[in-house]
């Protein structure tokens, strides 16, 4: 492999000739051969937004000339367009401040900008630290990139996915009006419920989760940038933090503002932990919904069989004709992964020692994985399962009519204990509630038929 010589404050390093990165990226690439988890692309793109905004703020404050600012912005746009995805090879398991990923971005921007300068016949050179990292520190850029990436992933991916599935359930509610079925609690028969009411519970779970996630966005909107190394803002000009937050908002299409207390912004990850808690709550709701759907669709002959769901692929390599609720299973696996990630994020967020939290790469990786997986799983579940849910009216009616808990409607007329006796007799003798009640002499035929109306129990 052809190499070139790059140098940093520690000396010379051999870097692949074709690579846009420099010495500090190469050192990290060689020193942290741990796992296969690379820094998420969402973080790299957030860094591109951040670096472009920082150049604009430095230009506005008179620290950077217009040509350099525009050149940095041009390279950042290339990164945002995915032109240099292979230039960011670093793994998650690196320094806990994310310094090496910050420098990876700085070096790529500087080297690519210098290529463009050379192509234009210019000799001026951008420096990754002095130019691209101007008025910044890894300690304030990485948490800023984390908040940008978290906000965009929630608003652009997860919230729209939740809204789409909620709309599907709203449609199913209207479509299934008037269908009465057995309710169930503790996995046991309970009093009747309208199928549309059951679906409305799923819809409202999603709408509530969406509101909870949205409530976390104002906290993610507070950016650490401008705090530099320890929160004091050393080497950043006055008002840089306010201006750069505004510029980030313009570039990202979301509202951001500078965190009023940079000491809090650098050392605490409470906003991320809070936001992921809402994501975890959505995962819990999706687990419940997916479980409900696969229970209701269980069978096709020996289960509940009250709904049918799309048959997407064969379910067994040995049992011909078997079809499984695979979309539900994918959702539940994603849900437990998100719950595991929440534990990691919670532990990592608790490790803010003195002026900095040094668990930020793993927090970023797990947060963005949770959002990415959950958004994908919800979209897949919606497209490949939820839209195809069909009520099995005959089976619902059969299960409803066989439910002993319909006896509950007799409580006001014969009392709880007599109603319990009716249910017990019907169950042990394998008869209907009507037969048991008449044999016990609690009601006449006419009176029983008058008060026993399951359709009015919902």
Angle at 178 between CA 177 and CA 181, to 5 degrees: 110
> Does the pLDDT value for residue 260 go beyond 90?
yes
What does pLDDT average to over the chain? 97
pLDDT (0 to 100) of residue 122: 86
The hierarchical CATH code for the domain 139-394 is 1.20.200.10
Domain range annotation of the chain = 3-134, 139-394, 403-456
CB within 8 Å of 141: residues ≥ 6 apart:
47, 50, 98, 102, 133, 225
Among the listed residues 144, 137, 123, 121, the one whose alpha carbon sits nearest the alpha carbon of residue 46: 144
- The verdict on whether 370 is a catalytic residue reads no
Band (pLDDT 50/70/90 cuts) for residue 116 is: very high
Estimate to the nearest angstrom the gap between the alpha carbon of 91 and the chain centroid. Answer: 21
Beta-strand pair 307-308/390-391: antiparallel
CATH fold of 3-134 reads Fumarase C; Chain B, domain 1 (1.10.275)
pLDDT (0 to 100) of residue 133: 98
Please state the φ and ψ torsions of residue 322, each to the nearest 5 degrees.
-80, 135
Pick the CATH number of 403-456 from 1.10.3720.10, 3.40.50.300, 1.10.40.30, 3.30.9.10: 1.10.40.30
The CA distances from residue 283 to 147, 276, 320, 373, in Å, are 21, 10, 33, 10
Taking the C-alpha atoms of residue 375 and residue 206, their distance in angstroms, rounded to an integer, is 12
Question: Which member of 167, 215, 316, 350 is catalytic?
Answer: 316
> Does the pLDDT value for residue 49 go beyond 90?
yes
Taking the C-alpha atoms of residue 98 and residue 199, their distance in angstroms, rounded to an integer, is 44
CB within 8 Å of 424: residues ≥ 6 apart:
none
Query: How many CB atoms neighbour CB 110 within 10 A?
Result: 26
pLDDT (0 to 100) of residue 436: 96
Q: To 10 degrees, the CA torsion angle through 426, 430, 434, 439?
A: -70
> Does the pLDDT value for residue 123 go beyond 90?
no
pLDDT (0 to 100) of residue 168: 98
Angle at 276 between CA 275 and CA 279, to 5 degrees: 100
Taking the C-alpha atoms of residue 226 and residue 243, their distance in angstroms, rounded to an integer, is 10
- Read off the pTM: 0.96
Q: 159: which 2 tokens?
A: 């919230």
Taking the C-alpha atoms of residue 197 and residue 181, their distance in angstroms, rounded to an integer, is 10
pLDDT (0 to 100) of residue 352: 85
Among the listed residues 146, 79, 135, 65, the one whose alpha carbon sits nearest the alpha carbon of residue 109: 79
- The verdict on whether 316 is a catalytic residue reads yes
Which percentage of the chain shows pLDDT scores above 70? 100
> Does the pLDDT value for residue 121 go beyond 90?
no
CB within 8 Å of 394: residues ≥ 6 apart:
none
360-407 pLDDT tens trace: 999 999 999 999 999 999 999 999 999 999 999 999 999 999 999 999
Among the listed residues 331, 337, 323, the one whose alpha carbon sits nearest the alpha carbon of residue 290: 331
pLDDT (0 to 100) of residue 124: 73
Taking the C-alpha atoms of residue 148 and residue 153, their distance in angstroms, rounded to an integer, is 9
Taking the C-alpha atoms of residue 262 and residue 266, their distance in angstroms, rounded to an integer, is 6
Estimate to the nearest angstrom the gap between the alpha carbon of 52 and the chain centroid. Answer: 27
310-340 pLDDT tens trace: 999 999 999 999 999 999 999 999 999 999 9
pLDDT (0 to 100) of residue 14: 97
């Amino acid at each position: 492999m052809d190499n070139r010589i790059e140098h940093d404050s520690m000396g010379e390093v051999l870097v692949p000739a074709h690579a846009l990165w420099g010495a500090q990226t190469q050192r990290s690439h060689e020193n942290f051969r741990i796992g296969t988890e690379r820094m998420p692309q969402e973080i790299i793109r957030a860094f591109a937004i951040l670096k472009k905004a920082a150049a604009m703020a430095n230009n506005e404050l008179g620290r950077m000339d217009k040509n350099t600012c525009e050149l940095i912005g041009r390279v950042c746009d290339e990164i945002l367009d995915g032109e240099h995805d292979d230039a960011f090879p670093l793994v998650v398991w690196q320094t806990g401040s994310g310094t090496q990923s910050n420098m990876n971005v700085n070096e790529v921007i500087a080297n690519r900008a210098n290529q463009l300068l050379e192509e234009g016949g210019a000799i001026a050179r951008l420096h990754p630290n002095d130019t691209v990292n101007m008025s910044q520190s890894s300690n304030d850029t990485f948490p800023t990139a984390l908040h940008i990436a978290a906000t965009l992933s929630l608003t652009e991916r997860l919230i729209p996915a939740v809204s789409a599935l909620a709309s599907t359930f709203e449609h199913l509610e209207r479509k299934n009006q008037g269908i009465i079925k057995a309710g169930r609690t503790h996995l046991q028969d309970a009093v009747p419920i309208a199928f549309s009411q059951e679906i409305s519970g799923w819809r409202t779970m999603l709408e509530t989760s969406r509101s909870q996630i949205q409530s976390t966005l104002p906290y993610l909107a507070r950016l650490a940038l401008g705090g530099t190394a320890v929160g004091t803002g050393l080497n950043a000009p006055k008002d840089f933090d306010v201006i750069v937050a505004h510029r980030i908002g313009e570039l990202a299409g979301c509202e951001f503002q500078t965190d009023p207390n940079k000491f809090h912004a650098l050392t605490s990850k409470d906003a991320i932990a809070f936001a992921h808690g809402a994501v975890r709550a959505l995962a819990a709701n999706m687990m419940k919904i997916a479980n409900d759907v696969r229970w209701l669709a269980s069978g096709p002959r020996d289960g509940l069989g009250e709904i049918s769901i799309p048959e997407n692929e064969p379910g067994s390599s040995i049992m011909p004709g078997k079809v499984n609720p695979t979309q539900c299973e994918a959702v539940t696996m994603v849900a437990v992964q998100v719950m595991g990630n929440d534990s990691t994020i919670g532990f990592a967020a608790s490790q803010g020692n003195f002026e900095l939290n040094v668990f930020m790469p793993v927090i970023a990786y797990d947060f963005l994985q949770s959002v990415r997986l959950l958004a994908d799983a919800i979209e897949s579940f919606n497209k490949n399962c939820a839209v195809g849910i069909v009520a099995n009216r005959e089976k619902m009616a059969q299960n409803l009519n066989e439910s002993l808990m319909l006896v509950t409607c007799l409580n006001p007329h014969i009392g709880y204990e007599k109603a319990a006796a009716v249910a017990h007799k019907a169950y042990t003798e394998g008869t209907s509630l009507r037969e048991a009640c008449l044999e016990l002499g609690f009601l006449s035929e006419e009176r029983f038929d008058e008060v026993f109306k399951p359709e009015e129990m919902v």
